[in-house]
Structure 1
């Protein structure tokens, strides 16, 4: 991946929150390399509490990293108030719960126009709001101007939230669980809308989700996150049809169409203030528990040696000693 093709990039990103009463800091994001190309949709996948939302907030400039850096359009993110205001016009957030995102006292028109007013838009506000609503699939837009959120369906509310992001003509959308609160019948419509916006406007998107099925339907690439770090990344077909990390395999095994029995992971993810030594997944890893890692000669490394950070450019796309040992043992392709 060339630098010119990248719109957003995180390099060695870390976000730690101080512990109380002298407790260790919680390492919510603990060394992440991630890149999003222009016109690309990347899915960030993992369990609740793995650091996905904190990573997304740090990419938006809402949380300042403890270490590492965020680059947008090749330039490091500037955290001054003026620079962040300009940045957030180019990078917009779409939240999970449209009911919580919309002020119940504001009409649809005011909700969509709010961003224009914050950024001092000097053009035709009514035309810009109408175009954004239309692009979001609310047509004719004028029919929705004076409606309030409680008068809309869940799918319509999510479209209003998307219109509020589109009205500023951003280059990148960060969508945090954009369909998690919607009925199954509406989910496909919103996903199709995001794909259409990428095609029509050249938008890039980071879609944060716990659902690998959603990633399959919408993403070009997927990054699987566990305990503050991306453990596997690659093209979506590659990762989801031939997963290499045991954690990715476990997430995929619970999908309804997955072959075989679901892989049940023992326990909860460890406390991010007490990350285990070695591979951070080893305390829950079914490959280690079954003896497969021992047979591959990597069990000690799993417990004691950090497998590293998968590179944003595709180098070492999996953080797993067992996966590396299997790759090394595989016969070369003819």
Structure 2
């Protein structure tokens, strides 16, 4: 069952007199007890999509659905929604007030929502986040903790509200490699023990491989490939996904993308990836007879199906 869903979602901003289509037609679902990785390089729109799913940005068109019902943007409805859909930020140091103890940081959410049994709730959240015994950390300040411990405090702050969904924006990007595995293992344990769902926003396909059930690859405001994580990462169909995977250490030959990074105010005709596409540049798309379509023919917006999907003229020609 779909718990959190983007349906034909568009988010636009005005930038220096031009219109930036940050999210330009996205269908995406996060099911109950499911971890979905949203992957793409900086500027592709994934953080804007995550903020819109959290109700922090209002869509230009389309809708966000939670439990099958469209999200309401009244203050009361958003307050109730954000208790159940919680954000975990990239930088735990910036997320925590240096003047607040761990207890105060974790208790802030329950106080805002008027939840009972504050002390028990804080201790339980810290314990579930792997800070045991919780009494050891209650009166500590952020500067007295390691980076991994600070990230656990941020996660505990979310858990204190008993959410159903976590939206984690680059949750381990600021951590040492030795600590990243611990935080990823924690998120998997929370999924298994509490039934939590999660949308994990990342530029790292290696992280997606280790934690996600499904992966959605985003480029210039749209999902260009999606499906079960093993299928997409073992046999990627889209040239952009192939390029992202090629930078992993085990890849035999990295793909260096040419052209300019994506600009949401200047979306090209045809396939939006074609100015940087290594398959088109190498003449392989021409050999398949699709190079003209790559440059001029729009691709359909992918559905929110859990099956493997790709928005690519060349991949479509190979499958036929």
TM-score by length of 1: 0.95
Moved over 4 A (4+): none
Q: Distance in 2 between matches of 1:275 and 1:257?
A: 33
Q: Aligned runs of 1:280-295 on 2, under 5 Å?
A: 280-295=272-287
Per-residue deviation, residues 159-179 of structure 1 (Å, max 9, x unmatched): 000000000000000000000
Structure 2, unaligned stretches of length 5 or more?
none
Mapped partners of 1:24, 1:315: distance in 2: 36
Partner of 1:19: 15
Partner of 1:176: 169
After TM superposition, list the pairs within 5 Å mapping 1:241-280 onto structure 2.
241-258=234-251, 260-280=252-272
Q: How does 1:50-65 map to 2 (within 5 A)?
A: 50-65=44-59
After TM superposition, give the deviation of residue 313 of structure 1 in Å. 1.1
Confirm whether residue 231 of structure 1 aligns to residue 227 of structure 2: no
Q: Is the CA contact (8 Å cut-off) linking 1:227 and 1:269 kept in structure 2?
A: no
Quote the residue 2:67 is aligned against.
73
1:311 paired with 2:307, answer no
Instruction: Give the distance between the partners of 1:270 and 1:184, measured in 2 at CA.
Output: 29
Q: 2:319 aligns with which of 308, 327, 331?
A: 327
Query: What residue is the counterpart of 1:108 in the other structure?
Result: 102
Tell me how far 1:18 sits from its aligned partner. 1.2
Aligned pairs for 1:191-202 (under 5 A) are 191-202=184-195
Q: In structure 2, how many angstroms separate the alpha carbons of the residues matched to 1:161 and 1:247?
A: 33
> Conserved in 1, the CA contact under 8 Å of 2:227 and 2:308?
no
Shift of 1:310: 1.4
What RMSD over aligned residues (CA atoms) do the two structures have, in Å? 0.9
**1:314 Cα deviation after fit:** 4.0
Deviation for aligned residue 1:271 = 1.5
In the aligned structure 2, how far is the partner of 1:270 from the partner of 1:59?
22
The 1-side partners of 2:62 and 2:289 are apart by 33
C-alpha deviation, 1:316, in angstroms: 7.2
Tell me if the contact between 1:310 and 1:316 (Cα under 8 Å) persists in the aligned partners.
Answer: no
Q: What residue is the counterpart of 1:9 in the other structure?
A: 5
What is the CA–CA distance in structure 2 between the aligned matches of 1:88 and 1:196, rounded to whole Å? 22
Deviates more, 1:264-273 or 1:296-305: 264-273
1:133 and 1:160 in contact (8 A); partners too: yes
- How many aligned positions are there? 320
Q: Say which of 109, 114, 125 aligns to 2:118.
A: 125
